[in-house]
């Protein structure tokens, strides 16, 4: 059977032990949704848990903070416990709070302590811009110049990073390192265990942005002795637009005062004492700031239940088979299209999406959308395709590549301007 045949894809789907989870999601049958690395689809479980929290507000009013099946007062900690296995954390090391950038600000405010010659922050030139905005502002808040204190390790090929280069930049002037777990463009997985060990050997604290890795690949943050991490929940975790973020703090840092103190970081037993001297929680809960966004966290309850049932190892195994199939099809069916697979091929280096480059990427994405395939454009010439294990099928991948082949062979993309929309 040919790779691009419906029979071949059907044979792969017949062996998919996660196939039943597709029915848990709201999928438009006329589309192939491959943008789960930007915003995951709504599941019926997430919808249900959101409705359940709305009902608790309706039923209990202010008593919802302590009553009902999901008391709001403990919700951030409960969600932290539910998601701890996804990042390989011990109980108490994870809390669901804030957003990606707000949590990074909190973690830098807490752990970035420039002293003597150790004043620099290590990052990389391929990092997501928002992380660098936060890093630069934290440097400036300390009265220093970002252009002098921020180290951005360069990529050799414009797509990936070499651990040797990152470790080589870990000099005795570096106080803290902030790196991605998975690069948002190419989908490369960094060796977080190796980088953590190298940083600690040099007296450097290290943390990771897990936005493109949580829910897509396994982590062992506690075992690796990683200092901190932070992430969103609306990509692979399918928590919904703007759903509450998460953070991890290694338990050996428990007791370190939060750099940005707020009353929801208090010891729960003392929070309503209204004392002007804060008593922080004894675990990761200390790094919350304000009142939790209950309705933004509510869908995550249902989403995490699905992950607990399906199992992250099973999700990862299927994800690799989906992206393998996608890469095979593109190489076999579009060899002269100008599309270049810029993601790592090796399984231990590739996350949950495939990154293609083409000079006409923006217009190709627009053509794909017109024909029912939902991709993700990243300037200047990137196309990200993320077949998600919980709701995408091998037939989805086959259909998407078949449509892409028609677009490229017939030049259908040429009728569009090669410009991104407001939301790329």
Q: Which residues are tagged catalytic?
A: 128, 209, 234-235, 384
Nearest alpha carbon to residue 343 among 183, 235, 211: 183
> Is 254 within any annotated ligand binding site?
no
Neighbours of 126 (CB within 10 A): 20
SS3 142: coil
Quick check: 291 and 264 in contact, CB under 8 A?
yes
Is residue 130 marked as binding? yes
Cβ contacts of 199 within 8 Å, gap of 6 or more: 170, 177, 205, 206
Given its phi and psi angles, is residue 317 left (phi above 0), alpha (psi -120 to 50 degrees) or beta? alpha
Q: Is 196 annotated as a binding residue?
A: no
Q: Is 209 annotated as a binding residue?
A: yes
Distances in Å between the Cα of 45 and the Cα atoms of 16, 24, 177, 208, 332 are: 21, 7, 37, 29, 38
Q: Provide the 3-class DSSP secondary structure of residue 356.
A: strand
Is 276 flagged in the annotation as binding? no
What's 3's DSSP letter? T
Distance CA 80, CA 102 (A): 17
Cβ atoms of residues 225 and 75 within 8 Å? no
The answer to whether the annotation marks 129 as part of a ligand binding site is yes
Q: Phi/psi of residue 24, each to 5°?
A: -80, -10
Does the N-terminal peptide bond of residue 303 adopt cis geometry, omega within 30 degrees of 0?
no
234 is in an annotated binding site: yes
Q: How far is CA 137 from CA 105, 109, 143, 381, in A?
A: 9, 11, 10, 29
101 is in an annotated binding site: yes
CA distance 232 to 249: 15
Q: Give the annotated binding-site residues.
A: 100-101, 128-131, 209, 212, 234, 263, 291
Q: Give the annotated binding-site residues for pyridoxal 5'-phosphate.
A: 100-101, 128-131, 209, 212, 234, 263, 291
């Amino acid at each position: 059977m040919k790779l691009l045949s419906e029979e071949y894809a059907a044979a792969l789907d017949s062996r998919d032990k996660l196939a039943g989870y597709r029915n848990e999601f709201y999928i438009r049958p006329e589309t192939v949704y491959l943008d789960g690395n930007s915003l995951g689809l709504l599941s019926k479980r997430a919808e249900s848990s959101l409705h359940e929290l709305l009902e608790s507000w309706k039923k209990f009013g202010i008593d919802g903070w302590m009553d009902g099946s999901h008391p709001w007062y403990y919700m951030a900690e409960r969600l932290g416990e539910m998601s701890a296995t996804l990042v390989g954390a011990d109980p108490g090391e994870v809390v669901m709070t804030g957003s990606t950038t707000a949590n990074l600000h909190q973690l830098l405010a807490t752990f970035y302590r420039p002293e003597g010659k150790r004043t620099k922050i290590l990052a990389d030139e391929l990092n997501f811009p928002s992380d660098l905005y936060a890093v630069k502002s934290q440097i400036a808040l300390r009265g220093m110049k970002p252009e002098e204190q921020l180290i951005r390790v360069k990529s050799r090929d414009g797509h990936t990073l070499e651990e040797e280069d990152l470790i080589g930049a870990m000099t005795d002037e570096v106080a803290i390192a902030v790196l991605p777990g998975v690069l948002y463009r190419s989908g490369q997985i960094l060796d977080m265990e190796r980088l953590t060990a190298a940083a600690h050997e040099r007296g450097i604290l290290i943390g990771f942005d897990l936005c493109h890795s949580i829910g897509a690949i396994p982590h062992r943050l506690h075992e690796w002795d990683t200092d901190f991490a932070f992430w969103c929940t609306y990509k692979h975790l399918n928590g919904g637009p703007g759903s509450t973020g998460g953070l991890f703090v290694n338990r050996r840092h428990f007791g370190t005062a939060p750099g940005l103190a707020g009353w929801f970081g208090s010891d729960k037993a003392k929070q309503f004492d209204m004392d002007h001297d804060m008593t922080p929680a004894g675990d990761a809960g200390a790094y919350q700031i304000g009142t939790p966004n209950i309705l933004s966290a509510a869908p995550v309850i249902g989403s995490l239940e699905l992950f607990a049932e399906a199992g992250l190892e099973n999700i990862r195994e299927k994800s690799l088979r989906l992206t393998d199939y996608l890469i095979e099809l593109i190489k076999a069916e579009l060899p002269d299209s100008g599309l270049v697979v810029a993601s790592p091929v090796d399984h231990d280096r590739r996350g949950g999406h495939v990154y293609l480059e083409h000079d006409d990427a923006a217009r190709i994405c627009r053509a794909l959308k017109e024909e029912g395939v939902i991709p993700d454009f990243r300037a200047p010439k990137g196309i990200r395709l993320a077949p998600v294990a919980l709701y995408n099928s091998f037939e989805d991948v086959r259909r998407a590549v078949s449509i892409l082949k028609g677009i490229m062979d017939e030049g259908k993309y040429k009728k569009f301007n090669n410009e991104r929309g407001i939301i790329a």
